[in-house]
Amino acid sequence: MLIGVRWCTKCDIPLLTDTCEICGSQYPKPFAKDLVPVFAEEMTILRDLLGASELPGKSSNLYLWNSRTNYYYKGRKVASIKYQNDKSPIVGMTKDKILRELSETITDLKSFKKKLYNANKSYLDRIENEAIQFIRDTVLEVKHNIALAAVQTL
């Protein structure tokens, strides 16, 4: 079971367990409960509609990540959505030099995906096998109870 996301500072990659399978580094404390990449459309909303003008124009290189109302770069929180008195959202940016790196970050997406898989291989393989076994067990359990219907059109 996933109990949080960590960040390997040596490999610059999100981890689904406490050990990076590339370098062997240990990260016992998660920094977020879950994590999803920020894509170009969300980046546009953050920058143009919610006032996060410090953010670069694109996030197609998987360098900015979201967990609920927080945004992370290299495992460090760089922004969060806050709500004003009138309940309208606004993005609060950290005053951190790491923000300058955002616009300079270029990631080869193909190698990043491979690195992401390799850093989390055991966990990903285990949950894939669990899902396959669940499907097999379910098919065996219900295969005699499948109702078939034929429809004839006129």
Structural domain boundaries of the chain? 6-128
Over the stretch 101-127, which tens digit does the pLDDT of each residue have?
655 555 677 888 899 999 999 999 999
**pLDDT of the residue at 72:** 86
What's the pLDDT band for 148 if we cut at 50, 70, 90?
low
As given in the structure block, the two tokens for residue 141 are: 């359990």
Over the stretch 12-27, which tens digit does the pLDDT of each residue have?
899 999 999 999 999 9
* Torsion region of 50: left, alpha or beta (phi above 0 gives left; psi -120 to 50 gives alpha): alpha
**Amino acid identity at 70:** N
Q: Kind and range of the H or E element at 142? A: helix 121-142
**pLDDT of the residue at 106:** 56
CA distance linking residue 105 with residue 101, whole number of Å: 6
Over the stretch 28-75, which tens digit does the pLDDT of each residue have?
999 999 998 888 788 777 777 776 766 666 555 567 888 988 888 888
CA distance linking residue 89 with residue 80, whole number of Å: 10
